[in-house]
Structure 1
Amino acid sequence: MDDKLEPRSRWFNLIGDEKKPYAGRIHVRTCLEGGYHVLDEAAHLTSDVRATAKQLSKPPIGLLEVGIRGANNLLPVKTKDGTRGTTDAYVVAKYGPKWVRTRTILDRFNPRWNEQYTWDVYDPCTVLTIGVFDNGRYKHDDALKKDVRLGKLRVRLSTLDANKVYMGTYSLMVLLPSGAKKMGDIEIALRFTCSSWLSLIQAYTNPMLPRMHYVRPFGPAQQDILRHTAMRIVTARLARSEPALGHEVVQCMLDSDTHIWSMRRSKANWFRVVGCLSRAATLARWLDGIRTWVHPPTTILVHILLIAIVLCPHLVLPTICMYAFLIISLRYRYRQRVTITMDPRLSYVDAIGPDELDEEFDGFPSSRPMEHVRVRYDRLRALAGRAQTLLGDVAAQGERLEALFNWRDPRATCIFVFVCLFASLVFYVVPFKAFVLGSGLYYLRHPRFRDDMPSVPVNFFRRLPPLSDQIL
């Protein structure tokens, strides 16, 4: 379908039997659109952003290799022969449209799989999901039997160094009605291999989603309907696979309950916002300390800087870019290591009461006995779920800005560092007045000279990694 033309409609005659050959007419408008990408997982944890049409896909920029070695100290989740506890564990990994499942190791608390899988990577700013489950359907034909989740990990590829092997043991955390519980550890090995550094850097400047998402965007309601429909299709397809994956496994891997109201998630998102705003409060306290001469040498240096800005305003921008280049480059050695495990502190699982956990595990709609209370309660939860998502999006913007300075995504920060260096050199040469004039004219340019796609800085900022993948 062209992005400017509506699909053509046609009238068709309905053919009946011999006694009544003409049964009427039907007006049909058919459109098979492949320019969009329908998400089947949470938007902040997506692992595939390619268009549906294969002819619109670009060549892969790298290869993701995952080695699932084994698990240690798994807790029993069921009984065997009615006397002792046991666990029949298997692992599911999902990246893009490809799902993989290991074999089930029966009656082992320290299973060893030693299986390796690979995925083509088309976008570095995506998330790999790994889940560990207990096989509850083994030797059971009862449809009520379900697989029990033992824990889940998420790995954001943009935080991995290219061509480096990450091998370690990571905790498996699961949220139960009684609280957060560690179910054991999993041993995995990861490696993201980059085939073209030029394509990898270029990916940071491209839009996150295909062109049709920006030229003819869907509304939020349509996106939710398409996402839930895609999830049902994926669930039905994997239920027919061999070995089959239950709907509870697919829903856990796709985070189908992220839109459901949860006091714990709301508190976690709120404290993420507070954590980002605390940096601004620290800056305000620093400025107040300068004003009150808490540290006289710093105050004197600020006075000298103020005089220099007044006397030489054309040196402001190059000096700021040069300072950013130097400070962020020096902070590379102090950058955080890759965090693959879920963060209980960030998930806010240790400071919630049993009533809040009971509310989170309550079904939707609520099972409250009073009909009127249940209607009001469900309406409140639906509204609060939107506020919860808004809090998460606001927190993600601040975390993306913070990730630019703390080398959480080494490639993005490296790009920004060299842009600062190049900008500082340009601003030292180009007069400040010419830059202001050029920037103003560019900002006020005619719509004919504007592009209908997001700009390069916006694309770059949206690709910076937030902490959403560490929320349990």
Structure 2
Amino acid sequence: MAKDEKLVVEVIAAHNLMPKDGQGSSSPFVEVEFEHQKRRTRSKSKELNPIFNERLVLVQQQLSDSRRFSPTAAIALEATMYVVIFAPDDSQLWSPHVGVLELGILGATGLMPMKIREGKGGSTDAYCVAKYGQKWIRTRTVVDSVCPKWNEQYTWEVFDPCTVITIGAFDNSHVHNNGPVRDARIGKVRIRLSSLESDRVYTHSYPLVMLHPTGVKKMGELHLAVRFSCINAGNMLHSYIRPLLPKMHYVEPLLVRQVENLRSQATNVVAARLARAEPPLGREVVEFMLDHGSHLWSMRKSKANFFRLVAVLSAPIAVGRWIESVRSWHRPVQSLLFVVTYVVFVAAPELILPTVLVMMAITGLWRVCCTCVARVKVVVGGWGLYALRPPRFRSRLPSPLMSFFRRLPTQADSLL
């Protein structure tokens, strides 16, 4: 288990309580809530001056250390593709880091005005938040500027190059407002380290895009300088053949609802911890950086999935419509040719296969089919041998080759 700190609350007594049961008495108890943990004392029946003398113990998990956290908490924070590192809780079991990540947050241009001020028009009080692993950083707030300049630099130790750093931009709503307000989201950028060339400085502008009810909208551009320095090429190459998740996640996998529940609880713990930081981060900032609620249903996702399904079924639907048009004789020539061909094939079925082969040769599909069949034979043969291997050589863990391909960056990750 992770190293925890205990918060002990000693409840001694209470005096002169107000009666609440309508009979001039009450049955009080004390309840303590801390970081989504609740503890309560025993109830004292019909007592307005109760004496408890009880100790309530609450546990505070130490998630602030960027290298001391449980794998379950790491999975619960983000989707698996964005989780940065899985490390044991014991520091003696840590693997040596493979490199150092340096991030320079230079500035932003063309930010959309997020608030209206009297006599000044549109304005933005922007700041940035970057997250890699369990280490979060926040820049200073540049007041009243749509082209802020930060010029701040931060570093992280990298234990796995197939990881992601997240940088988000927000509008500080507390500058001219003392009430309980939420910082507005401007946008965020994700960069996968495996898409970076070692020891090369990348200085680029990244678009900040947000999804609004009216559609996707560009909110500005964020200027970053990124460099990943590899200090141990052997360990870095070895990390590519390791599974993405720890062994127990393959031996005893969690259900989807369990993962989402853990993810929600871990988000609550991290949000409570960062709210006590200096300067503090609001819950809305943490949820945006961790994609909290991304698994929930939305009309946009439903429409996108519907159109994907329609695209997959478009070919069968087109064939069905053509058959229906033949049956309804909307095009008499096509219907007549189809009926004649059908009668010929029924009268002489031995002509079906030669006719199909001739048509394939004319259209050039024969060579394509031969090539596809050869590839299918190789794939099916290899998969069959792999599936029928003796149980002694089977494992629930993915093979090194599969782990290597899963760790390669996709085209969506190649942002630079």
TM-score normalised to the size of structure 1?
A: 0.56
In structure 2, C-alpha distance between the alignment counterparts of 1:275 and 1:49, rounded to whole Å: 39
Q: Does 1:218 align with 2:162?
A: no
In structure 2, C-alpha distance between the alignment counterparts of 1:204 and 1:224, rounded to whole Å: 27
Alignment of 1:9-408 (within 5 A): 36-38=71-73, 39=75, 40-81=77-118, 83-143=120-180, 145-268=181-304, 291-293=360-362
In structure 2, C-alpha distance between the alignment counterparts of 1:464 and 1:272, rounded to whole Å: 25
Q: How many residues align?
A: 304
Closer, same or farther in 2 for the Cα pair 1:68/1:127, shift >3 Å?
same
Give the conservation status (yes or no) of the 8 Å contact 1:207–1:459.
yes
Deviation by residue 1:202-228 (Cα, 9 ceiling, x = unmatched)? 111101112222233333222222111
Which amino acid in the other structure matches residue 92 of structure 1?
V
Give the conservation status (yes or no) of the 8 Å contact 1:171–1:184.
yes
Q: Which residue of 2 aligns with 1:392?
A: none
Determine which of 448, 456, 467 is the counterpart of 2:400: 456
> How big is the shift at 1:449?
4.2
In structure 2, C-alpha distance between the alignment counterparts of 1:439 and 1:61, rounded to whole Å: 34
Deviation by residue 1:232-255 (Cα, 9 ceiling, x = unmatched)? 000001111111111111111000
Give the conservation status (yes or no) of the 8 Å contact 2:71–2:86.
no
Give the conservation status (yes or no) of the 8 Å contact 2:195–2:413.
no
> How big is the shift at 1:272?
7.5
In structure 2, C-alpha distance between the alignment counterparts of 1:277 and 1:162, rounded to whole Å: 44
Q: State the secondary structure of the residue aligned to 1:168.
A: strand
In structure 2, C-alpha distance between the alignment counterparts of 1:125 and 1:223, rounded to whole Å: 22
Q: Which residue of 2 aligns with 1:397?
A: none
Which amino acid in the other structure matches residue 50 of structure 1?
A
In structure 2, C-alpha distance between the alignment counterparts of 1:71 and 1:213, rounded to whole Å: 40
Which amino acid in the other structure matches residue 36 of structure 1?
P
Which amino acid in the other structure matches residue 224 of structure 1?
E
Determine which of 391, 394, 402 is the counterpart of 1:447: 391
> How big is the shift at 1:80?
2.4
Which amino acid in the other structure matches residue 243 of structure 2?
P
> How big is the shift at 1:277?
11
> How big is the shift at 1:444?
3.8
Give the conservation status (yes or no) of the 8 Å contact 1:170–1:186.
yes
Which amino acid in the other structure matches residue 243 of structure 1?
P
Q: Which residue of 2 aligns with 1:27?
A: none
The farther-off stretch of 231-240 and 457-466 is 457-466
Give the conservation status (yes or no) of the 8 Å contact 1:45–1:468.
no
> How big is the shift at 1:201?
1.7
In structure 2, C-alpha distance between the alignment counterparts of 1:62 and 1:275, rounded to whole Å: 44
Question: Normalized per residue, which structure has more strand?
Answer: 2
Closer, same or farther in 2 for the Cα pair 1:439/1:126, shift >3 Å?
closer
Closer, same or farther in 2 for the Cα pair 1:177/1:52, shift >3 Å?
farther
Give the conservation status (yes or no) of the 8 Å contact 2:69–2:87.
no
Closer, same or farther in 2 for the Cα pair 1:46/1:440, shift >3 Å?
closer
> How big is the shift at 1:258?
0.8
Give the conservation status (yes or no) of the 8 Å contact 2:72–2:262.
no
Question: Normalized per residue, which structure has more helix?
Answer: 1
In structure 2, C-alpha distance between the alignment counterparts of 1:289 and 1:262, rounded to whole Å: 50
> How big is the shift at 1:82?
5.7
Closer, same or farther in 2 for the Cα pair 1:100/1:277, shift >3 Å?
farther
> How big is the shift at 1:167?
0.9
